[in-house]
């Protein structure tokens, strides 16, 4: 019974991954957080019932880096106290890297089959992407924003060339794209490998791609290009050949994307605003660069332990819109180092694994890591859940 209850909460957690804003009980308690906390508590009860016994093969030595990061942040807060703001930010890190990553990773590994994990991931991704497409079509054709009925807590207005950008259940279009470029891409791979009719596969994959396009996110395009280039580079390095069928399949989408992007330079095209952002010439892109430079200046002033977590909030300032810069401002190079080691270790583990479809995981992983360089909301679970799913599969394959 305890295992079934745990599995129920975990399936809810996977399904509601993208619901970062819609139907939230509180701004700090969207559905995925509620199910995440419930899953963690249920796993604790499950372990107690089993006399403290559970399988630990899914954990790696590099996971210690997350605890080191939290310790560094705590020390930085002690050195530069920001009152309640320090407590809020440290709590966000503790939640993200202990409850979300460490605990839920163990819970999934011990209680949910790989097939069930992919079943609910696919259902959640397709449902979100379909909502994204419907949101765009209904708003564009009828002027009705269905998001008003999602109890988002705040009005979200975003357009691309006068076309409404989809948000679905997320906080903003870029977060929706972040979700689909990471977990959505893995869902596409899982769908393709299902024993479904080709028409069913084509429909679901088209929905996911369409939902991603409807967000019109330049940051997501750039992140996927980075992920693709890294995966291709690893493929070349490991195989010493680009002529295999797998390599051609891997390269093709990124060649097509490159052609479209280059075509955008030919004139004032539909892709103009995206090209402008990617080249850092657009208004919002220039604003990002300005904040990045301000962050680098702050880092130069306090390079080692930073200015303390919650600094920007305490001063009433906006974030640097780059988690890596933001983290270094708050905790210095000492705080940035463990997360870099952690992320590089995960890339290395993916590269050296024999997990089926590992290059899809590498693209998604590198895209997610790259995307965090243009947003500060590290607490959204997509990248961390992607790593969890990969490590559960990898560990089960080994053991």
Provide the 10 A C-beta neighbour count for residue 365: 27
Residue 399 has pLDDT above 90, yes or no: no
H-helix segments, the chain? 2-15, 31-49, 64-79, 84-94, 104-111, 114-142, 173-179, 185-192, 198-213, 218-239, 245-263, 272-278, 283-301, 311-315, 323-351, 358-371, 382-398
Confidence of residue 235 (pLDDT cuts 50, 70, 90): confident
Per-residue pLDDT at 276: 57
Write the pLDDT tens digit of every residue in 295-348.
999 999 999 999 999 988 888 887 788 999 999 999 999 999 999 999 999 999
Residue 123 · residue 25 · CB < 8 Å: no
Per-residue pLDDT at 57: 94
d(CA 152, CA 149): 8
* Percent of the chain predicted with pLDDT > 70: 88
Confidence of residue 232 (pLDDT cuts 50, 70, 90): confident
Residue range 76-96: mean pLDDT, rounded: 94
d(CA 244, CA 149): 49
Residues found in the chain: 399
**Tokens representing residue 280 in the block:** 């850092």
* Percent of the chain predicted with pLDDT > 90: 70
Lowest-pLDDT range of 16-30, 51-65, 286-300, 327-341: 286-300
Write the pLDDT tens digit of every residue in 194-211.
999 999 999 999 999 999
Residue 373 has pLDDT above 50, yes or no: yes
Residue range 25-47: mean pLDDT, rounded: 94
Phi first, then psi: give them for residue 160, nearest 5 degrees. Answer: -135, 115
Write the pLDDT tens digit of every residue in 154-179.
677 788 888 999 999 999 999 999 99
CA triple 71-380-140, angle to 5 deg: 160
Residue 295 · residue 307 · CB < 8 Å: no
Provide the 10 A C-beta neighbour count for residue 236: 13
Phi first, then psi: give them for residue 105, nearest 5 degrees. Answer: -60, -45
* pTM higher than the cut 0.95: no
Per-residue pLDDT at 280: 56
The mean of the pLDDT values for the chain is 89
**Tokens representing residue 99 in the block:** 């409850």
């Amino acid at each position: 019974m305890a295992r079934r209850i745990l599995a129920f909460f975990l399936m809810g957690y996977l399904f509601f991954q993208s619901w970062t804003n819609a139907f939230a009980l509180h701004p700090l308690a969207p559905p995925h957080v509620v199910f995440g906390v419930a899953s963690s508590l249920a796993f604790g009860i499950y372990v107690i019932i089993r006399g403290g016994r559970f399988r630990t093969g899914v954990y790696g030595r590099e996971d210690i880096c997350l605890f080191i990061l939290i310790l560094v942040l705590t020390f930085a807060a002690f050195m530069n106290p920001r009152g309640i703001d320090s407590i809020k930010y440290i709590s966000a890190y503790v939640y993200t890297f202990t409850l979300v990553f460490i605990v839920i990773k163990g819970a999934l590994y011990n209680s949910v089959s790989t097939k069930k994990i992919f079943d609910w991931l696919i259902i959640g991704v397709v449902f979100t992407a379909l909502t994204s497409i419907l949101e765009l079509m209904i708003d564009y054709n009828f002027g009705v924003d269905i998001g008003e009925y999602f109890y988002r807590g705040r009005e979200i207005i975003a357009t691309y060339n006068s076309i409404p950008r989809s948000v679905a259940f997320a906080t903003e279009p870029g977060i929706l794209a972040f979700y689909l470029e990471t977990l959505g891409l893995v869902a596409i791979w899982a769908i393709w490998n299902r024993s479904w009719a080709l028409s069913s596969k084509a429909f679901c994959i088209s929905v996911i791609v369409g939902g991603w396009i409807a967000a019109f996110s330049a940051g997501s395009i750039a992140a996927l290009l980075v992920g693709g280039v890294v995966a291709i580079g690893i493929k070349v390095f490991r195989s010493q050949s680009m002529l295999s069928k797998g390599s051609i399949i891997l390269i093709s989408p990124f060649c097509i994307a490159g052609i479209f992007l280059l075509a955008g330079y030919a004139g004032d095209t539909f892709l103009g605003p995206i090209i402008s952002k990617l080249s850092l010439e657009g208004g919002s892109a220039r604003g990002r660069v300005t904040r990045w430079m301000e962050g680098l200046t702050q880092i130069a002033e306090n390079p080692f332990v930073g200015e303390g977590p919650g600094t920007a909030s305490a001063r009433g300032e906006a974030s640097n819109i780059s988690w890596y810069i933001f983290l270094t401002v708050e905790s210095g190079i000492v705080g940035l180092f463990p997360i870099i080691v952690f992320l590089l270790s995960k890339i290395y583990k993916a590269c050296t694994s024999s997990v089926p479809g590992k290059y899809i995981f590498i693209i998604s992983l590198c895209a997610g890591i790259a995307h965090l360089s243009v947003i500060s909301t590290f607490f959204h679970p997509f990248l961390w859940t992607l790593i969890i799913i990969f490590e559960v599969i990898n560990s089960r394959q080994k053991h």
